[in-house]
């Protein structure tokens, strides 16, 4: 038996496109002589469909799509993922399901058992879990088919009480197949490989793991579909951050030596174990991680624009490292002609900031304009003078500058249809170092899940084959330039300390005492955590953020605004 994996990029709710991709995948599998082709979790509608699932019309369209696809399941078996109505009156109205299509009909259905309800996942909001488990019979083979989270109940502290494969293995399956929508973070490839390998070692049969690819607003899916033989050896790892297709013969996955008694013990790593088991700064700037984050951000930008029907971007180019990196990424993702940089110097901007920003645009070849904001700022302060009285210059005047820039960018966005790219990084968002409706404005946050340490590493990666981002941008002290001689270090701790403490708190969920025990001063830790927790109101008003870590701001991190903890 020959099995094909179709790793594809779907668009949530775009049934015409999704069905077209799936049918094309079936045709390719037929052309390569496959007996069975495997697609991914909820491929019919795209993942995650969220509250679209509450509309009967949406489910009707899913059912119609299955009906269209099964007409092409002639001479081949097809495994596709889609929501299915729950026939029982008890429980949630839907199941997260996999359909086995063959001979132009539905030959079997599998329901997802383990419904993740943490971080970005909210499946128990919509779906009823499976309460029975049965292998699918296909051409003389028994297929143990599971869906994404169903294989993740491993390790010393499993999250669920039931492990579907423990139930299915009693029926002596020949092959494990998992249809997945597993999002990217910069530990996920290690974790994913460990869990698939652990299954083959534990159950002694091969495994085929098909994962989706593509970005859905905040969430990036990286692909990396896997084939492991029964001895726990990796046979194939599909491409990352792009569509891929692979065929494998079942016979090549068995009889690779070893019995259950003499195999190595299964080992499963969690994202936290991969990430926080080493020096934090080394982990953040690890060359492999940076290369992956670069690809993830490009895919996040590209798919956000493509799937939303946008073509052109705009951003404020300050001559600083954050805007320079976003500009370089956007040019690479969208094309230089589609990225418009606006330089908006004030009386506090240094000459080199404008020069650096101009040099960057010349290097990239994208259009740019200069719009000084001094006159706009003066008009604001003159009109406000009677109310401001003789109070000293402070953050109010600083934020007028930032909001003036935001107004100019949004005016140009409205006039010409360019989507504003936000340039705030995770270190700034964590500490509230940004201006609401000013530099926090935007349609998509490109760097909102990227710490300042990683921003510098990514900029150096951009320059790996020659200077694109000017060297002065990489070496000068970062500054918002909203007052004379201002530097980030006036308001924020050293980024090496700040980012380490932020990672230990946000990703690692460590307490103040645990972070202090790492060697940091109590006053510094208390100050940083207070900044994080007291600025939740700003982050709640922020634009969607491209997620690259395993704990990003946005839908995966839910904190009360009025909470008192550590604030």
- Is-catalytic flag, 41? yes
Asked whether residue 285 is marked as a ligand-binding residue, the answer is no
Chain Cα centroid distance, residue 5: 22
Asked whether residue 538 is marked as a ligand-binding residue, the answer is yes
Residues in the chain, total: 567
- Is-catalytic flag, 62? no
Asked whether residue 368 is marked as a ligand-binding residue, the answer is no
Asked whether residue 318 is marked as a ligand-binding residue, the answer is yes
Asked whether residue 224 is marked as a ligand-binding residue, the answer is no
Asked whether residue 317 is marked as a ligand-binding residue, the answer is yes
The answer to whether 546 and 111 have CB atoms below 8 angstroms apart is no
Asked whether residue 443 is marked as a ligand-binding residue, the answer is no
Tokens representing residue 237 in the block: 């790892």
Asked whether residue 2 is marked as a ligand-binding residue, the answer is no
Asked whether residue 236 is marked as a ligand-binding residue, the answer is no
3-state secondary structure of 171: helix
What's the CA gap between 357 and 14, in Å, rounded? 39
**CB half-sphere exposure, 232, CA atoms < 13 A:** 20
What's the CA gap between 97 and 81, in Å, rounded? 6
Cα-flanking dihedrals φ and ψ of residue 365, to 5°? 80, 15
> What is the number of other CB atoms lying within 10 angstroms of the CB of residue 50?
14
Asked whether residue 404 is marked as a ligand-binding residue, the answer is no
Could you tell me the CA-to-CA distances from 181 to 43, 178, 287, 293, 363 in Å, in that order?
A: 9, 10, 26, 18, 38
CA 272-241-330 angle, 5° bins: 100
Asked whether residue 118 is marked as a ligand-binding residue, the answer is yes
- Is-catalytic flag, 68? no
Asked whether residue 485 is marked as a ligand-binding residue, the answer is no
Cβ-proximal residues to 404 (8 Å cutoff; 6+ apart), any chain: 344, 373, 376, 377, 380, 438
Catalytic residue among 21, 41, 302, 307: 41
Catalytic residue among 43, 45, 62, 148: 148
What's the CA gap between 340 and 125, in Å, rounded? 41
Catalytic residue among 21, 61, 112, 202: 112
> Which residues are annotated as part of the binding site for deamido-NAD(+)?
399, 428, 538
Catalytic residues: 41, 112, 148
> Which residues are annotated as part of the binding site for ATP?
316-323, 423
> Which residues are annotated as part of the binding site for L-glutamine?
118, 182
> Which residues are annotated as part of the binding site?
118, 182, 316-323, 399, 423, 428, 538
């Amino acid at each position: 038996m020959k099995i094909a994996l179709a790793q594809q990029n779907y668009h949530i709710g775009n049934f015409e496109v999704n069905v077209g991709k799936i049918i094309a995948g079936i045709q390719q599998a037929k052309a390569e002589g496959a007996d069975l082709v495997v697609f991914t979790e909820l491929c019919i509608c795209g993942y995650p469909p969220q509250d679209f699932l509450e509309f009967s019309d949406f489910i009707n369209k899913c059912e119609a799509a299955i009906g269209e696809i099964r007409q092409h399941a002639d001479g081949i078996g097809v495994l596709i993922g889609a929501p299915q109505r729950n026939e029982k009156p008890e429980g949630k109205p839907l199941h997260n399901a996999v359909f086995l299509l063959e001979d132009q009909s539905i030959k079997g259905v599998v329901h997802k058992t383990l419904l993740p309800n943490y971080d970005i996942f909210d499946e128990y909001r919509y779906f009823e879990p499976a309460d029975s488990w049965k292998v699918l019979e296909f051409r003389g083979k028994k297929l143990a088919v599971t869906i994404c989270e169903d294989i993740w109940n491993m390790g010393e502290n499993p999250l669920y009480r039931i492990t579907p494969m423990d139930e299915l293995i009693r029926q002596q399956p020949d092959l494990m197949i998992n249809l997945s929508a597993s999002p990217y973070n910069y530990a996920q490839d290690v974790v994913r490989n460990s869990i698939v390998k652990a299954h083959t070692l534990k159950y002694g049969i091969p495994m085929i793991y098909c994962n989706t690819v593509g970005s859905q607003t905040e969430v990036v899916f990286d692909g990396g579909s896997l084939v492991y033989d029964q001895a726990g050896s990796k046979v194939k790892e599909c491409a990352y951050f792009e569509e891929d297709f692979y065929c494998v013969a079942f016979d090549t996955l068995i009889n690779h030596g070893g019995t259950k008694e003499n195999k190595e013990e299964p080992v499963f790593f969690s994202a936290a174990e991969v990430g926080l088991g080493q020096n934090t700064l080394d982990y953040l700037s690890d060359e492999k991680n940076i290369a992956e984050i670069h690809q993830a951000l490009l895919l996040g930008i590209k798919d956000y624009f493509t799937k939303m029907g946008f073509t052109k971007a705009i951003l404020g180019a300050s001559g600083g490292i954050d805007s320079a990196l976003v500009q370089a990424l956007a040019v690479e993702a969208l094309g230089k002609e589609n990225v418009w940089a606006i330089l908006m110097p004030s009386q506090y901007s240094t000459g080199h900031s404008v020069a650096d920003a101009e040099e960057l645009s010349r290097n990239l070849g994208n259009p740019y304009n200069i719009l000084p904001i001094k006159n706009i700022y003066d008009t604001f302060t003159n009109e406000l003078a009677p109310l401001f009285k003789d109070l000293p210059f402070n953050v109010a005047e600083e934020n007028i500058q930032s909001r003036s820039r935001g107004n100019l960018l949004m005016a140009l966005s409205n006039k010409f249809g360019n989507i504003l790219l936000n340039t705030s990084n995770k270190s700034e968002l964590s500490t509230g170092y940004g201006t609401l409706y000013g530099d926090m404005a935007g349609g998509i946050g490109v760097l909102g899940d990227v710490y300042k340490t990683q921003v510098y590493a990514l900029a150096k990666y951009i320059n790996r084959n020659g200077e694109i981002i000017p060297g002065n941008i990489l070496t000068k002290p970062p500054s918002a330039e909203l007052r004379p001689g201002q530097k980030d270090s006036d308001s924020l701790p050293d980024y090496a300390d700040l980012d380490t403490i932020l990672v230990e708190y946000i990703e690692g969920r460590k307490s103040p005492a645990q972070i202090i025990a790492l060697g940091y001063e109590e006053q510094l830790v208390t100050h940083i955590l207070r900044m994080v927790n007291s600025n939740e109101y700003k982050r709640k008003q922020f634009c969607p953020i491209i997620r690259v870590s395993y704990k990003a701001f946005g839908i995966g991190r839910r904190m009360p605004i009025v909470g008192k903890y550590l604030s």
